[in-house]
Structure 1
Amino acid sequence: MGRVQDKVVLITGGGSGIGAASAKLLAKEGAQVIITGRTQEKLDNVKADNDQIHTIQQDVTKAEDWDRVITEIKEKYGHLDGLVNNAGITGPEEGSIEDLTDETFYQIIDTNIYSVYKGMQVAIPLMREAGKGSIVNISSTSGLVGTPDAAAYGASKFAVRGLTQSAALELVDDHIRVNSVHPGVVETEIRLFEEVVETTPMKRVGKAEEIAYLVLYLISDESTFSTGAAFTADGGYTAK
């Protein structure tokens, strides 16, 4: 038996990086995993010939896409045990707050925080029907400490942490746990902050698989006393 045997888990942004690594690991440990993303080709590459992984094309900034995804899951599985809100962007180079455009700001906010809020909102009823559930919201070390020239990104990731804690308190009586994960720089990221790597005590970037094992723990029943918590995996960056 795997660590998440027969659990039904939805992972957004599952076509690459942390989402893809988490999907493969959870499937290996027995879960039925649904991955979503904008590009079907990327989703298909992650799925390959794995019958435990299923794909649905989705734009996480669209409410109608969320409704469609949840409807498909309910019709096929009848319940949902886990949600990993992983989809996120760093956006184009932000520059200073003075140089940040409204277009860039809202693009980042819509993807990084609206999608987390909306994902939880539509997933909670399915989890409540199952009697329990686990939600993992992928944030960042930029949701714990400030990052220069990344005001919108930092604001969105701090918001993920706050939303996580509020939801955790609201859902505790429903036995639905909500936690956030705060990775440092991971090798699959679109934009690599070299200065962050240089000041990371471990002096390296993380691997997507290293974050995936933390996601696995939080989705599994091994973490049933953890809710409202912020878990870091950052090579010691925020411990300084």
Structure 2
Amino acid sequence: MELKEKTILITGGASGIGLEAARQFLEIGTKVIITGRNQDKLNAAKKMYPKLIAIKSDVSKAEDALSLFNQVSELGGIDILYNNAGVGVKPFNLGNPNNKHLEGAIYEMEVNYFGVIQLNNLFMEMLKSRNEAAIINTTSILSIVPSFIEATYSSSKVALAFYTKSLRRHLEIINSQVKIFELLPPLVDTNLVADREDKKMSPEELVKQLINGMQKDQYTIRVGVTRLVYQINRFFPKLAFKLINPTKDNKIIQKQ
């Protein structure tokens, strides 16, 4: 896929992976629109990269999503929708009824799953009208093997992974040229997991591999250790589960 001179909308683009993606897409000649919920972060991103277009929006809210669509349409539309925004709640003991894991699961699904479908539906006809267009959905290594300390987050990413594969096939059946990319990151070094001591990939390397995969029309982009876990899980699922869920994680559950 040719990325130069395209226009991309990056959700959750004011910090972390989204902001790094904005930087790298700008460098290769892509016009970048970012959105996020925090105006201060959007202002800081705009100050850092003046060529950015920043729009405040909560993609999980229907009224915000529609307003975002209308503003993007007025700017001339987009060629690429990068569904990067995502949330994860703290680990819960699912066996403890006093923990509010239901509320956390609903929040994760609203942002990580329903929010993606909402934006895809809004922008689909716009994307289908372009000569070359794409949607990027960010799932996770945990859509391959679940983390039992992030059970509801893992579930939201599995839902998104199945939807992504189905959406790609539906568009093929109706002869649409919209390309559907699935990005499967490992643990990435962002504020969301700042307290984790596990090995993390840098946002810079993740986005570099995303762009490389898109340029090669590699529709499923497994990055870093995700590739290894995917292969191990095919033949040795119990081993893959142990790799994702080390014994030390038991202590997190026992403390709850």
TM range (shorter): 0.7 to 0.9
Equivalent residues in 2 for 1:27-176 (5 A)?
Answer: 27-48=26-47, 50-77=49-76, 79-96=77-94, 98=96, 99-172=99-172, 173-176=175-178
**Separation (CA, whole Å) in 1 of partners of 2:112 and 2:227:** 24
CA contact (8 A) 2:187 2:201 kept: yes
Encode CA deviations 1:68-125: one digit per residue, 9 max, x unaligned.
1111111111x32111101111113323354453211101110111111112111111
More helix by share: 2
Encode CA deviations 1:116-164: one digit per residue, 9 max, x unaligned.
1112111111111113311111111111111012121010011111111
CA contact (8 A) 1:35 1:55 kept: yes
Q: 1:22 to 1:156 in 2, by over 3 A?
A: same
- Cα deviation for residue 34 of structure 1 reads 0.7
- Cα deviation for residue 230 of structure 1 reads 4.9
Q: Which runs of 5+ in 2 are unaligned?
A: 233-256
**Separation (CA, whole Å) in 1 of partners of 2:34 and 2:132:** 21
Match of 2:179 in 1: 177
Identity between Structure 1 and Structure 2 (%) = 25
Matched, 1:232 2:223: yes
Q: 1:193 to 1:41 in 2, by over 3 A?
A: closer
Q: Secondary structure at the match of 2:223?
A: strand
Q: Secondary structure at the match of 2:148?
A: coil
CA contact (8 A) 1:8 1:31 kept: yes
**Separation (CA, whole Å) in 1 of partners of 2:34 and 2:95:** 34
**Separation (CA, whole Å) in 2 of partners of 1:106 and 1:61:** 11
Q: Secondary structure at the match of 1:174?
A: coil
Q: Which runs of 5+ in 1 are unaligned?
A: 198-203
**Separation (CA, whole Å) in 2 of partners of 1:130 and 1:51:** 26
**Separation (CA, whole Å) in 1 of partners of 2:95 and 2:74:** 45
- Cα deviation for residue 27 of structure 1 reads 0.8
**Separation (CA, whole Å) in 2 of partners of 1:135 and 1:97:** 37
CA contact (8 A) 2:209 2:223 kept: no
CA contact (8 A) 1:140 1:181 kept: yes
Q: Secondary structure at the match of 2:9?
A: strand
Q: 1:223 aligns with which of 216, 220, 230?
A: 216
| AA of the residue aligned to 1:158 | V
| AA of the residue aligned to 1:89 | V
CA contact (8 A) 1:96 1:148 kept: no
| AA of the residue aligned to 1:33 | V
**Separation (CA, whole Å) in 1 of partners of 2:103 and 2:223:** 30
Q: What is the aligned-residue RMSD (CA, Å)? A: 2.1
CA contact (8 A) 2:80 2:133 kept: yes
| AA of the residue aligned to 1:10 | L
